[in-house]
Amino acid sequence: MRLRHTLLASSLALALASLTACGTSAQAPAAPQAAVVQSAADPRPAAAPAPAAPTVAAAPPAVQQTAAAQAASAAYDFDMDVFHPVVARNGMVATEQELASKIGLDILKAGGNAVDAAVGIGFALAVALPNAGNLGGGGFMVVHDAKTGKNVALDFREIAPKGATRDMYLDASGKVVDGKSLYTHYAIGVPGTVAGMEHALKSWGTMPLAKVIAPAAALADKGFPVSETLAKILQQEKKNMGQWPATRAIFWKNGEPLKAGDPLVQKDLAASMRLIGQQGARAFYQGAIAQKIAAETAPHAGAVTLADLRDYQVVERTPTTGTYRGYQIVTMPPPSSGGPHLVQILNMLEPLPLAQWGANSAQTIHYLAESMKLAYADRSEYLGDPAFVKIPLKGLTSKAYANELLKTIDPNAARPGKSIKPGKPQPYESDQTTHYSVVDKAGNAVAVTYTLNTNFGSGIVAKGTGILLNNEMDDFSAKPGVANAYGLVGGDANAVAAGKRPLSSMTPTMVLKDGKPVLVTGSPGGARIITTVLQTVVNVIDFGMNPAEAASTPRVHHQWTPDELRIEKGLSPDTIALLKARGHNVQLKASMGRTQTIQLRGGALYGYSDPRNPDGKTLGY
């Protein structure tokens, strides 16, 4: 974004002077006069020191450097980058799993476009990243069509079954039943991924569904060694996943979760994928797969039924848009809260001199945190499924509203979360998820964030399908004021209702300049998705970072409640002390987000997979 700086030879003058001085004689400076030290036991009177003669420092020798030396030094020190992204010119994919990235890149090399590759990756991640990649979940996709210049937001979010009711997660005394919205058959929303992938391919792709699915099905059939990262997650989820025989049959060996190096073979999933390739999404929503999912949930009245699957529909939506320092922001609209609040926070930050303050300075972090609090307070009140609630979207994303909010921020003190109430945008009305980004040689771009919700979703595999089912119903507000798995509090706008899409934080995002993508990004991370994407955009636009630097910079997060400024390790103690002095409740916690980012500049593609997940890989050609 900001021009990359080249270090000129003159920047090395002092260092070269030192080198030159090594072979030159110079007048030694006068020795300083020794101080007279007298013992307390010395009875002699102290002699007055002689007045020191004034000295004049000798001028340093003039630095001379030949043209050849200047050229050599310039060639040696020419790059300001600390972390280096992957560079390509014809196409690029960035995902959380190298096996999926290879499949996406192969599709691009075979002549497929960005959407073909994105669909292939969507199925591949269901195999290689089973804790988040999925067929039994849902998500969002933002597509930029280079030929028409059109941007589209595709909503394939899960839907509450027809038997869902507002109080379905409460007991007789009105208290939330612990775990019912997370680890039971009632946690499952009607999945949207398969319908979404088919719709995208038919609308903007070029290849047959069977062809883009085939590599993922082959990977599931053959299997692959479990990585250290996946083995740790399987061990973490042992208690939940171990409840279900069909799940243990895939992810267990000798009575324990698979360990690093063990082969993960998914024969049933391979068969399900090939059936979808042959019959399309109909196999999942009406055919043999639908029958098996319905059989899994049938003993649980009010859970997903065959009719729920049959009636599922994806929705094409107009993206939420905004501007920031001359760039266009194109992101996901409701039922994503991510897009509206990304734009809202950027609007609050735009009048501020962030570049002057510096990345992760106390001043920058203070304003980031205070802006985040205000946006998350609004999230709790206004955001939900637009088919069920009226959302003041224009007001929330209005620069005038942002300016009013900005006036409430004290530059020197953190505002207690309990003192913040949702604002009034109406007058301005005129973790475990995964993200991947794809750009092709024609300039088409795709940003996809999809999910099972928490790791492995409900943990339930529909017997005979190999498909893990989501626990997305936990994203509803089971009861106003009671937080979900990510600590997010919601109100009536996000209450459970039959046929309703739960509110999401997923934020697949593109940044455009003059109508063309210059940044494609997104992240998993539950409540932290919005702030992770926010800091990626700010790091690139305000601080001139490349995707590798932007991903490697420590992150911060505040979501209004709980009232804590969450930080990653890496901030200096000085900065933390300054934040605490302003009243911030600073808490060092686990790392946040795993971005997959592609930047387009100067005719080349620059991409990077977040180092917070060592299994991720960006590939290009």
Task: Identify the bridge partners of residue 153 per DSSP, sorted by sequence position.
Answer: 142, 317
Residue 600's identity, in one-letter code, is: L
Name 320's bridge partners. Answer: 331
SS3 call for 516: strand
Return all residues near 284 (Cβ < 8 A) that are at least 6 apart: 135, 191, 194, 195, 272, 276, 290, 309
Give how far Cα 383 sits from Cα of 161, 164, 329, 335, 337, Å.
20, 20, 19, 7, 6
Q: What are phi and psi of 390, to 5 degrees?
A: -85, 120
Residue with tokens 């479990």: 226
Contact 434, 132 (CB under 8 A): yes
| Active-site annotation holder among 305, 320, 331, 433 | 433
Name the burial class of residue 54, with classes exposed (0-12), middle (13-18) and buried (19+) by CB atoms within 10 angstroms of its CB. Answer: exposed
Neighbour count for residue 64 (Cβ, 10 Å): 9
Per DSSP, which regions of 260-367 are E strands? 263-264, 315-317, 320-324, 327-331
d(CA 232, CA 441): 37
Cβ atoms within 10 Å of 71's Cβ, excluding its own: 11
Which helix (H) or strand (E) covers residue 470, if one does? Answer: none
CA 81 to chain centre: 22
Q: In what order do the strands lie in the sheet with 509-513?
A: 86-88, 604-609, 596-601, 516-521, 509-513, 327-331, 320-324
Length of the chain equals: 621
Q: Coil, strand, or helix at residue 94?
A: strand
Q: How many CB atoms lie within 10 A of CB 529?
A: 31
Distance CA 374, CA 606 (A): 33
Token pair recorded at residue 346:
């950027």
Pairing of strands 565-567, 586-588: parallel
DSSP per-residue codes, 144-204: E-TTT--EEEEEE--B--TT--TTTTB-TTS-B-TTTTTSSGGGPPBP-HHHHHHHHHHHH
449 is catalytic: no
CA distance 247 to 136: 14
Map 537-581 to HEC letters: HHHHHCCCCCHHHHHHCCCEECCCCCCCEEECECECHHHHHHHHH
Pairing of strands 252-253, 509-513: unpaired
171 contacts: CB under 8 Å, gap ≥ 6 = 177
CB contact at 8 A, 502 and 160: yes
Task: Supply the residues annotated as catalytic.
Answer: 433
